[in-house]
Amino acid sequence: MQDFDYAAPISTHEAVQLLADPGHKAVVLAGGTDILVLLRERRRRATLVVDVKKIAELNELAMTADGGLFLGAAVPCSRIYREAAITEKYAALVDATKIIGGWQIQSRATVGGNLCNASPAADSIPPLAIYDAVAEIAGPNGRRQMPVADFCSGVGKNVMARGDLLVAIILPPIEARSGAAFQRFIPRNEMDIAVASAASLVELDDQGIICKARIVLGAVATTAVRASHAEEALVGQPPSDELFAQAGALAERSARPIDDMRGTIEYRKHLCGVLTRRTLAIAVERAQSKTQ
């Protein structure tokens, strides 16, 4: 491993100053499950590692006044799925946090880090995107918010500039008659990276007709990709297996995957259809169980 300095600021302001220091190539350490590996394997360079786990704001996990969720950027996955209020409301996010790594990893790894790392196969990004989550970023020029869907700009790349720090991810409140689910496909049953993944959200009206749908696919493009045509096909329809299959077929067309050691282009597209269909079925079931 390369030599680096270590700092553990206790305020967001202090962290931003450190990250903005032109004398350093600084990286952020939250759970460390990605950055430590990257540094050790010399795939990332850093002269300063800024540990953000001691910043109170980044460790906050709470329902907001309007019924949404404030998810501090340094909150580990295991805190999310242990919180009953969250598991009830944001089931797709919980689906994802339960399968990111094993128990030890889940106790360290953060959703914020998963987002910043910007892997096309990140498990938490499609669920955040279907909930229209917003990233709150602190920087040298103050704070700003942007949709999570626009946060990643490429493989391993995000929109943050020097000095920027992801403070939190804010999930808007969800409608009562909605349900969501996330699934990924991996060849094994553990210790694997998604070959393809899908998060689906549906909202039902009083008659049980789908009035809103969100489908976001993972691992099939440079960033998570929204399956808009599939969403459109769902709205105004009563849920049915045929409808989910039709949406799945449309979702395949939104995927722009590559061939690599994890899968082929045609297989990944096919998986988008399967996973869309399967997550829609679960999402509708979850929505219906709430409406009853």
What length is written for the chain? 292
Separation between Cα atoms, residue 144 and residue 139, nearest integer Å: 8
Separation between Cα atoms, residue 95 and residue 216, nearest integer Å: 14
Separation between Cα atoms, residue 104 and residue 113, nearest integer Å: 16
Q: How many CB atoms lie within 10 A of CB 54?
A: 15
For other proteins, give the closer residue by CB, 189 or 292.
Answer: 189
Least distance to other proteins, CB of residue 277, Å: 8
Single out the residue of 13, 264, 285, 291 in contact with other proteins (rule: CB under 8 A).
264
**Cβ neighbours of residue 101 under 8 Å, at least 6 residues apart?**
33, 77, 109
For other proteins, give the closer residue by CB, 8 or 274.
Answer: 274
Least distance to other proteins, CB of residue 192, Å: 7
| By CB under 8 A, residue 195 contacts other proteins | yes
| By CB under 8 A, residue 1 contacts other proteins | yes
| By CB under 8 A, residue 108 contacts other proteins | no
> What would the DSSP string read from start to end of 44-63?
S--SEEEE-TT-GGGG-EEE
| By CB under 8 A, residue 188 contacts other proteins | yes
Separation between Cα atoms, residue 70 and residue 57, nearest integer Å: 10
Contact in structure between 232 and 253 (CB atoms under 8 Å):
no
Contact flags string 144-183 toward other proteins, x per CB under 8 A: ----------------------------------------
| By CB under 8 A, residue 190 contacts other proteins | yes
For other proteins, give the closer residue by CB, 89 or 262.
Answer: 262
Q: Which residues bind to other proteins, rule: CB under 8 A?
A: 1-3, 42, 185, 187-193, 195, 260-264, 266-267, 270-271, 274
